Amino acid sequence: MLDIKFVRENSEIVKENIKKKFQDHKLPLVDEVIELDKKIRDLKLEGDNLRQERNTKSGEIGSLMRDKKVDEANKIKEEVVKINERLVVLEDEENNLNKELRDKMLIIPNIIDDSVPIGEDDTHNVEIEKFGDPIVPEYEIPYHADIIEALSGLDKMSAGRTSGNGFYYLMGDIARLHSAMLSYARDFMINKGFTYCIPPFMIHSDVVNGVMSFEEMDAMMYKIENEDLFLIGTSEHSMIGKFKGQIVKESELPITLTSYSPCFRKEVGAHGIEERGLYRVHQFEKQEMVVLCKPEDAMDWYNKMWSYTVEFFRSLDIPVRTLECCSGDLADLKVKSCDVEAWSPRQKKFFEVGSCSTLGDAQARRLSIRAKGDNGNYLVSTLNNTVLATPRGLIAFIENNYNEDGSISIPEVLRPYMGGIDKIVKK
């Protein structure tokens, strides 16, 4: 959410930003919020003047009563009563207008960074750099679900009976591999100096509204019936919410956290839920990184964070590339974002395994997260990035470490988490 003062003083910049995001239907909102802001400020001014007048009259009443001028005092008391009645009306009007203003401000997108490429959708995202050599082996690599099933590692039929489409059982060595990757991701980030955290897996609606747009929430999140609780779609939601309404010491910045959680998503949309495989499912697990920092340090942290994900996947012998998200592909709270995509030797193309975003002070403004500095309090910048989301990361690992005999090689860094074995083979 933008600062209303910024919108008031830079309306053309805000409108141009909306156009860059191809959301022209939101253009009228800019003038609407400016008009609402004017009305609110006018009400505040009237209220301040009335309170000053009331204070003056209250002093007059005291003097008149001391002089035993009761009739005059009672007349002024009646005027004070009318002032109080007007103040109640003004307060109600101001509260209603503030709610309307906030609702509209939540819809106006954040100002994107100048470096973001302009494009209407993800087809205009721009490749930045490749890391590792994308290799297509001479032998055929089967569909990932077939590989896992051949290793007795997947049971979607039973999950269909217990939970429906979009769920799965992982079994045996594949289940162990899944957990091993997450444990390695945890330790990888701890070794980068991040503090490990396991957050709540459900959050209140005010936290949801603080970390994402309503459209994202409606498409993604499961609500607990008859409770003000939502299942998280990523641990970023809980981790940013941890600081809701807090003032942190500037000396504590940057706050660098890495969090594990299961994640739950409706996956509503044209892509749907994958019938056989594990690429798009309702439930997955994730190791995330979250940073709160000074605004001037945000871009440095953004570049560090996506580079950590690249380093993590390369340590597992997985080629990756980074892809700059264009303006039309950015969620409304994001200033800048890039995807990390892993190589699929089966499909002979890259696919998304993580996303890194800097959101400026948008989440901090919504959730009132501030730092106390020498020159007063200020809103912090928030960033988030995927270390590993699996089973999607599991798919990338299996394809890139699959052998012609149907076995899966285990890179050295992962072997301590797999009981020392260097290969998963058919039993």
Please tell me whether residue 132 adopts helix, strand or coil conformation. coil
408: Cβ–Cβ under 8 A, 6 or more apart, which residues? 147, 151, 177, 397, 398, 401, 402, 423, 424
Residue 291 host element (H or E): strand 283-293
The whole-angstrom distance between residue 260's C-alpha and the CA centroid of its chain comes to: 15
The pLDDT, as a whole number, for residue 273 is: 60
Q: Which is nearest to 217 in space by CA: 232, 228, 227?
A: 232
Query: Distance (Å, rounded) from C-alpha 208 to C-alpha 216?
Result: 10
Contact 357, 384 (CB under 8 A): yes
Contact 180, 172 (CB under 8 A): no
- Ramachandran bin of 90, using left for φ above 0, alpha for ψ from -120 to 50, beta for the remaining angles: alpha
User: For the domain 4-105, what is the CATH code?
Assistant: 1.10.287.40
The pLDDT, as a whole number, for residue 270 is: 47
Query: Distance (Å, rounded) from C-alpha 178 to C-alpha 390?
Result: 7
Q: Which is nearest to 286 in space by CA: 232, 350, 329, 244?
A: 232
Query: Distance (Å, rounded) from C-alpha 286 to C-alpha 347?
Result: 24
Could you state, in order of their start, the residue ranges of all structural domains in the chain?
A: 4-105, 122-424
Query: Distance (Å, rounded) from C-alpha 309 to C-alpha 389?
Result: 11
389: Cβ–Cβ under 8 A, 6 or more apart, which residues? 263, 284, 285, 286, 287, 353, 354
Walk along the chain (427 residues) and give the pLDDT tens digit of each residue.
899 999 999 999 999 999 999 999 999 999 999 999 999 999 999 999 999 998 888 888 878 878 778 888 888 888 889 999 999 999 999 999 999 999 999 999 999 999 999 999 999 999 999 999 999 999 999 999 999 999 999 999 999 999 988 899 999 999 999 999 999 999 999 999 999 999 999 999 999 989 987 677 777 889 999 999 999 999 999 999 999 999 999 999 999 999 999 999 987 554 556 667 898 899 999 999 999 999 999 999 999 999 999 999 999 999 999 999 999 999 999 999 999 999 999 999 999 999 999 999 999 999 999 999 988 999 999 999 999 999 999 999 999 999 999 999 999 999 999 999 999 998 7
- Sheet containing strand 376-379, strands side by side: 247-249, 370-373, 376-379
13: Cβ–Cβ under 8 A, 6 or more apart, which residues? 111
Among 3.30.360.10, 1.10.3680.10, 3.30.930.10, 3.30.160.160, name the CATH number for the domain at 122-424: 3.30.930.10
